């Protein structure tokens, strides 16, 4: 999907339906000249509902739909007939969508499962008809309840991709090449920075028909958390990943320093990201011989499992998948 079609943030105005008014009707028939109250209840208005769909992976379909209004409920009728309910508005969204109040920033909903439905904005209830207000001392009540108004607010919908592994690295580190090598994903690949302008997902086949999902996130640069480069726009997509795969090319000036810069940018964005399991892959290792690899192992960051790989020659890719699978399935993960 082209970058212009990947939309992971929209702001929409939502208004649920108002409830219908109750009826203040009295029974009037030829043979019952003094019939009692028989006004029916008003129908509730329509809800605004979010529904999870695996058929969507972007919020593009809501980009130009800025105002979402549900129908009002109908008023009650004679003979204790209730008014019809207003039609609900169901907004299908990709899994991983979060809804927040645009003014308070409070999280209102989080959609994580196929078919999951969450009432984002409740409708107003319908008013009671005068039939409910009859008493021994007031057998002819001439009042009924009005319907409750609907709710309205500006809502922010924000998509955070659901994946097992998030790829983290500087631009041109080989993340897209790796994803295309071990999955069926076909991200744009080029020998220049910021080739990837939108996140890409790929399903990686593993042994015995098992698999895991990997997300290629646009490259981070030093200062990204402060707005440099592509900034933090896409960092939200690694917040849900079970683990992080750091990718640093073998021709980097200093692998340990680059790793620490990446960690620092994640920490500035969200310190909780550092609590995730992480592994390190040294990409473009077809440039190295065995002697160089042994020398570089002495300079790698401590306390992180690392593997030398080449997406072009397939060097170390099976070893990397084994390491990812073992890390994903560690007790407690």
CATH number at residue 172: 3.40.50.300
72 located within any domain: yes
Cβ burial of 53 (10 Å; 0-12, 13-18, 19+) is middle
117 & 90 share domain: yes
Same domain, 191 and 273: yes
Tokens representing residue 322 in the block = 């084994």
Q: How many CA atoms lie within 13 A of 229 on its CB side?
A: 22
Q: Clarify whether residues 117 and 219 are in a common domain.
A: no
Structural domains of the chain, count: 2
How far, CA to CA in Å, does 273 sit from each of 9, 69, 242, 278, 332?
A: 21, 37, 10, 10, 17
* pLDDT score recorded for residue 8: 84
- Whether 262 and 202 share a structural domain: yes
What size, in residues, is the chain? 333
User: 98 and 184: one domain?
Assistant: no
- Let me know if 63 is exposed, middle or buried by CB neighbors in 10 A (0-12, 13-18, 19+): middle
177 and 107 share a domain?
no
Phi, psi angles (nearest 5°) of residue 305: -70, 135
Sequence-distant contacts of 266-273: CB under 8 A, at least 24 apart? 266/168, 266/220, 266/235, 266/238, 268/225, 268/226, 269/224, 269/225, 269/232, 269/235, 270/235, 270/239, 272/239, 273/238, 273/239, 273/244
Same-domain status, 99 and 190: no
Judge if 147 and 256 occupy the same domain.
no
Give residue 57's pLDDT.
80
pLDDT at 189: 45
Query: Tokens at residue 184, please?
Result: 């069926």
For position 191, what pLDDT does the model report?
47
Residues 235 and 123 in one domain: no
Q: Are residues 219 and 324 in the same domain?
A: yes
Q: Is the pTM of this model over 0.75?
A: no
Q: Are residues 170 and 307 located together in one domain of the fold? A: yes
Do 140 and 270 reside in the same domain of the chain? no
**Tell me, what's the pLDDT at 41?**
97
Cα–Cα distance between 242 and 195 in angstroms, integer?
25
Residue 333 is assigned to a structural domain of this protein: no
The tens place of each residue's pLDDT in the chain, 333 residues long, gives: 444 567 888 999 999 999 999 999 998 777 767 778 999 999 999 999 999 998 888 898 998 899 999 999 999 999 999 999 999 999 999 998 999 999 999 999 999 999 999 999 999 999 999 999 999 888 889 999 999 999 999 999 998 877 899 998 888 778 888 988 888 666 554 444 444 456 778 889 898 889 898 988 776 756 555 555 444 666 777 888 889 999 999 988 899 999 999 999 888 888 998 999 999 999 999 988 888 888 898 889 888 999 999 999 999 999 999 999 999 988 765
Show the domain range for 114: 3-159
């Amino acid at each position: 999907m082209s970058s212009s079609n990947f939309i992971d943030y929209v702001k929409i105005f939502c208004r649920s339906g108002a409830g219908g008014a109750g009826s203040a009707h009295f029974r009037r028939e030829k043979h019952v000249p003094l019939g009692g109250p028989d006004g029916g209840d008003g129908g509730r208005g329509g809800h605004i509902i979010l529904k999870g769909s695996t058929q969507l992976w972007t919020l593009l379909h809501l980009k130009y739909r800025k105002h979402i209004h549900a129908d009002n409920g109908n008023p009650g009728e004679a003979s204790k007939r209730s008014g019809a309910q207003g039609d609900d508005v169901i907004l299908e969204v990709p899994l991983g969508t979060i809804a927040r109040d645009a003014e308070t920033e409070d999280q209102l909903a989080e959609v994580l499962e196929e078919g999951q439905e969450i009432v984002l904005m409740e409708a107003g209830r319908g008013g009671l008809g005068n039939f409910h207000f009859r008493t021994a001392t007031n057998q002819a009540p001439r009042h009924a309840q009005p319907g409750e108004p609907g709710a309205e607010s500006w809502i922010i919908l924000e998509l955070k991709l659901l994946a097992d592994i998030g790829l983290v690295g500087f631009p041109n580190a080989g993340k897209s090449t790796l994803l295309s090598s071990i999955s069926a994903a076909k991200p744009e690949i080029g020998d220049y920075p910021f080739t990837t302008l939108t996140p890409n997902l790929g399903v990686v086949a593993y042994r015995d028909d098992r698999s895991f999902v990997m997300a290629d996130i646009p490259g981070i640069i030093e200062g990204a958390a402060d707005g440099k480069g592509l900034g933090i726009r896409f960092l939200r997509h690694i917040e849900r990943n079970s683990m992080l795969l750091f990718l640093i090319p073998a021709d980097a000036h200093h692998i340990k320093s680059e790793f620490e810069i990446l960690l620092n940018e994640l920490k500035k964005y969200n310190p909780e990201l550092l609590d995730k399991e992480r592994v390190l892959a040294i990409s473009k290792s077809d440039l190295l011989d065995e002697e160089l690899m042994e020398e570089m192992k002495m300079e790698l960051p401590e306390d992180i499992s690392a593997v030398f790989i080449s997406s072009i020659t397939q060097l170390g890719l099976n070893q990397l998948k084994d390491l990812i699978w073992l890390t994903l399935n560690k007790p407690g993960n």
